[in-house]
Structure 1
């Protein structure tokens, strides 16, 4: 599998040809969007789905470059202040006009109680209205990549949220729902028609959309199909038009079929394992009175016990790239010279465990989703088998992301799997969200094991405000080295994208794995 080491976000068009009259596009994924509330879960599938209904101030083009969305332009008026000119004449799906009040409200909502998007806005000091169609965002310190930080912070109608008691986000950690869970009122190119969680969600084209809709789809039906074989069979039989992800073992079979093919490409997501390094005693372990993961020797023993090359070969069938870093190629700040994993060495692992006081190993539970990442459950099974060879008994808790995410986001875990695509395509996003010492503002919000190195966190804050690119890149390298030396997490690999598509479909594949419906068309005479 080819992965490019420079920035890549190719807009790949397939099945090109004459566009037919608009039709229904049927999309299947291994999991569902867990809510229609765009502030309730910072997860790419949910943000991809809801991003067809809601919009940010700043969007992305097919090549992932920045594009005007609800803001037509933006500029920095001082080191800590940005002015955004807002688009006029935009309506929410219920007919209410969009204006600056909705932006101020949405940013406060994203920063507030229950929000999973706090890390996107934690360095914003104030969002203020300076006219009906202009706002200023003041940051706590200079933040040169602020526009990139805002591309997944979606704007809701202030009046609609007030009318429907949805002023606070749906809190996935507490299982609290509100009207925004099942209904939606955005400004995007598609409207929500019907929502049946874990069964079917139907979207229809927004006839009053302010922008261009390149595709011809009038309706999109999104269906979760968790079973790999069932999902593939549905594509091959023509019951669905698009599926994601394609199981790596089925790529050749789909490509050999008459009516479908597989789009493959590099993805910016990094898959990794995290460990509870905060509690004095792990919640789910037979070790009592202490936390083995606070000992670097134990973390290193786990790292060196994982045979990542075997996982790449047998579990991922070559469709992954092992990594030593928490970011991958295509993300600014990735340094191939630093991307050198510690060697797979079970004997070294046993020795480290013995030195740490665990000569016979110990037991610990590993939380893992079964329907979020490519072969996620199988990867965790392989990790468990690897660790068993060095005396560590893994009690694998594998479950659907519907129950998995609320659990791990509450930090109700000792050992867990997660994947991360930096929304800014910059290392700062991963550093701030995954590796910074957690605080109440949203820094380290997804550092679920609470790894904390104060020197590194200080660097992360400096990276955010540094405008000299050479100095900034050096700081990123230093912060990454601190984390690697600490073995703060256990990076595994970057997975590859694999979408199964009917040959009558024309679609754009982006390296962030987002699927905008406005770029999907069905052809009348597929070739």
Structure 2
């Protein structure tokens, strides 16, 4: 099994363009350390229970404040020791032994031990949450010799080490695991402790630095404050007024940052397009025909969408894997040229010469002019769209619980097996209807059982080719996602394959 599961790929994906906006002021030399890190995110945490958390960047900063993970992912994607100081597989990659630190305490004073780690992994496995597939192959976990835990797997999991850097590896105190209110009352060993008195649920979340934290080198702020900014139009105003010093921006609202001190970094990798949740016609009968799904791909003028929707910040593509991923196939970037006549032919062949009606759910803050572009291009080939708006959390739940057959969205970049395990595999959280075919299942198994990097890359490329040819998705472009920081207050190092940096990547401006 490859040792890095693709996460150690070159950091070239992080453009870190540091776009110079007109009117930007130069960073001032600070005489005092910034004591409060003021962040903005698009939504509130759905839960502080790791077993019920999503893996999206909007969730990770909340989690990283209060929880430590077993392993750590550096900004360049390299996996490093954290609560686990070493890790080793057996010969057939079905048993993983983690050696743990013995000097870590939780915020409530409890000691971190192998028994606690076992309880957390069992809790996550049994939780049935949105990221439960991360530990799908985990058969058992037990305390091993010395200060170790041993994970036994039913089959190799090429991304297990990576998953232990994120929600599957987060560690809650035993008191927290036994607390029925864990969803709202976190209890971890992380660098900060949740300040309930200084927080307002759904609006502002405050975290105070722990004086007894085991890794004091990463605690650069006395307080972390995360403000929820669901309305994209409010983001620039919050930044300009000093309510936040670092926040994900949208391409549509970048102009609003021009008269602020913002430094804009970009990360290209996330893909935007139609997520086809229904490939068997369970919710939307036409989608069960591959010709209809291919028609969606031919119907979209990707160059126009790229310019109109994100002002050219990105690269046109028809595949979900990014160039830095070994599963990337260059020829698949233009597998579907814009060809509305071909789209109409395919619809007619599938039995829809007059097109059909389809309902898509969208986030309530989605720009109306953007939706109009999508609807217009589809209408030209006979696909008539009705939009159903939902708030962000409802929108996310609908997509992962089989409530929608197709809708536009932006999905985070993942490497190789992680992309497969998140979007494609039968038990993937973003494959809620469990679509599968015998051919694809066999290709996925080739990825799982690959014994070296070259073999795994070849296997992922086969999966990639299959899902493109069978139109499992309709990608339009890889977006260059902007992230705004106030260089007078904070510095940040962007994270490989994340549009929102990890909490550990921030430091006070010098």
| TM-score, length-scaled by structure 2 | 0.88
CA distance in 2, matches of 1:381, 1:13: 30
Quick one: distance in 2 between partners of 1:517 and 1:431? 26
1:349 aligns with 2:334: no
How far has the Cα of 1:128 moved from its partner?
A: 1.7
Q: Deviations over 1:264-302 (max 9, x none)?
A: 2223322342334366553xx6xxxxx111111111111
For the pair 1:31 / 2:43, whether they are aligned, the reply is yes
Distance in 2 separating the partners of 1:117 and 1:199: 25
- Please tell me whether the aligned partners of residues 16 and 267 of structure 2 are also in contact (alpha carbons under 8 angstroms): no
Query: Could you tell me how far apart the structure 2 residues matched to 1:107 and 1:231 are?
Result: 37
Structure 2 segments unaligned to the other structure (5+ residues): 1-8, 19-26
C-alpha displacement of 1:115: 1.5
Cα distance in 1 for residues equivalent to 2:158 and 2:256 = 47
Match of 2:22 in 1: none
Q: Structure 2: how far apart are the matches of 1:89 and 1:471?
A: 40
Q: Which shifted more, 448-457 or 185-194?
A: 448-457
| 1:300-329 Cα shifts (integer Å, max 9, x gaps) | 111111122111101100112222112213
2:55 to 42, 47, 50: 42
Q: Which SS does the other structure have where 1:196 is aligned?
A: coil
Matching residue of 1:430: 419
| Aligned-residue offset at 1:401 | 1.5
Query: Partner residue of 2:240?
Result: 236
Give the SS at the match of 2:186: coil
Matched, 1:122 2:136: yes
Matched position secondary structure for 2:90: strand
**How far apart are 1:123 and its partner, in Å?**
2.0
CA shift, 1:263, in A, is: 2.2
CA contact (8 A) 2:67 2:172 kept: no
Partner SS state of residue 334, structure 2: coil
2:330 is matched with which residue?
336
Kindly indicate whether the alpha-carbon contact (under 8 Å) linking 2:295 and 2:344 is maintained by their aligned counterparts in 1: yes
- Kept after mapping to 1: 8 A contact 2:164/2:170: no
SS of the aligned residue for 2:182 comes to helix
Name the counterpart of 1:261.
262
Match of 1:288 in 2: none
The CA distance in 1 between the partners of 2:478 and 2:62, in whole Å, is 22
CA gap 1:13/1:133 in 2 versus in 1, 3 angstroms: farther
2:88 pairs with 1:75: yes
Instruction: Please say if 1:452 is aligned against 2:436.
Output: yes
> Alpha-carbon deviation of 1:87?
0.9
Kept after mapping to 2: 8 A contact 1:20/1:216: no
Closer/same/farther in 2, CA of residues 67 and 330 from structure 1, 3 Å limit: same
2:312 to 315, 318, 325: 318
Cα distance, 1:399 vs. partner? 2.2
- C-alpha change, 1:48 and 1:272, in structure 2 (3 Å) is farther
Q: Which residue of 1 aligns with 2:274?
A: 273
Partner of 2:23: none
Does residue 506 of the first structure (1) align with residue 491 of the second (2)? yes
Which residue number in structure 2 is paired with residue 95 of structure 1?
109
Q: Distance in 1 between matches of 2:400 and 2:195?
A: 30
Deviations, residues 213-254 of structure 1 (Å, cap 9, x unaligned): 34632112111122333221221232321221x232443552
* Contact 2:327/2:460 (8 A) holds in 1: yes
Indicate yes or no: 2:195 matched with 1:193.
yes
- The corresponding residue for 2:73 is 60
Matched, 1:386 2:377: yes
Q: CA deviation at 1:7?
A: 4.5
Q: Return the TM-score normalized by structure 1.
A: 0.85
Q: Sort the Cα spacing of 1:360 and 1:10 in 2 relative to 1 into closer, same or farther, 3 A.
A: closer
Candidates 452, 463, 468, aligned match of 2:447: 463
SS in 2 for 1:52: helix
CA distance in 2, matches of 1:308, 1:327: 17
**In structure 2, what is the Cα distance between the partners aligned to 1:400 and 1:200?**
18
Tell me the CA shift for residue 469 of structure 1: 2.4
- Size of the aligned set, in residue pairs, is 487
- 1:177-216 alignment runs, 5 A limit: 179-194=181-196, 195-214=199-218, 216=220
